[in-house]
Amino acid sequence: MDLNFLNVKKYNYIHLSAGDLLRAEMKKTQSKYKDLISGHIVNGTIVPVEITCNLLKIAMEQFNEKNNQKNFLIDGFPRNQDNIDGWNKVMNEVSNVQAILLLDCDEETCVNRCLKRGQLGSGRSDDNAESLRQRIITYENQTKIVVKHYTSQNLVKSIDATGNIKEVNNLVDIIFKILSAKD
């Protein structure tokens, strides 16, 4: 499910999508990583952690410098153990993970939503059946480990994402109200 519909600003959070940052970097003609990123996105595999962490860190620093913004919803990251290790190495001193949101739905719903997003002109090279099959394999083999890791730390907030956008947004709102109250 695409998180662009979420209005986390009202809770003093900035939404950063790892995928959006990677796609933006891929479009930069001067980027030394554009071909590498493109290959990973098309193949449904995970971009090296150094690249993703660096892009996230730069974006977070820019928001912090401009708006003194320190609360972020990071969408689509971490996706494997290497991502966790890289995050801890690069960001541990400058970040505090408050929660991991798991938007949980069955595989068929997930695939149908992504295919529909592609049909509606998302412009994403990975909104196709083959890339989605690979992404599901990646999820099963690598991302479930991330969920387990953060569940053991009581950080996972699982949300039933089988409903429509409004229903899912209402559930996410509840989580953010709780997180905001802790600040």
Mean pLDDT of 164-175: 90
CA distances from 79 to 9, 65, 69, 71, 142 (A): 24, 27, 24, 20, 7
Q: Which of 101, 97, 112 is nearest to 171 (CA)?
A: 101
Q: Is the dihedral of CA 156, 113, 109, 79 positive or negative?
A: negative
Mean predicted confidence (pLDDT) in 124-153 = 87
Tell me, what's the pLDDT at 1?
A: 45
Predicted confidence at residue 158, as pLDDT, reads 95
Strand partners, 103: 159
Q: Which of 22-26, 92-96, 133-137, 155-159 is least confident?
A: 92-96
**pLDDT tops 90 at residue 36:** yes
Could you tell me if 52 and 83 are in contact, meaning their C-beta atoms sit under 8 angstroms apart?
yes
Token representation of residue 151? 């569940």
pLDDT digits (tens, 9 = 90+) for 87-122: 999 888 878 899 999 999 998 888 888 888 878 777
Q: Which CATH superfamily is domain 3-176 in?
A: P-loop containing nucleotide triphosphate hydrolases (3.40.50.300)
Q: Are 150 and 78 in contact (CB under 8 A)?
A: no
pTM of the model: 0.81
Q: Domain segments of the chain: what residues?
A: 3-176
From the list 118, 79, 52, the residue with the least C-alpha distance to 126 is: 118
Sorted by sequence, the CB contacts under 8 Å of residue 56 that are 6+ apart come out as 16, 18, 21, 74, 77, 91
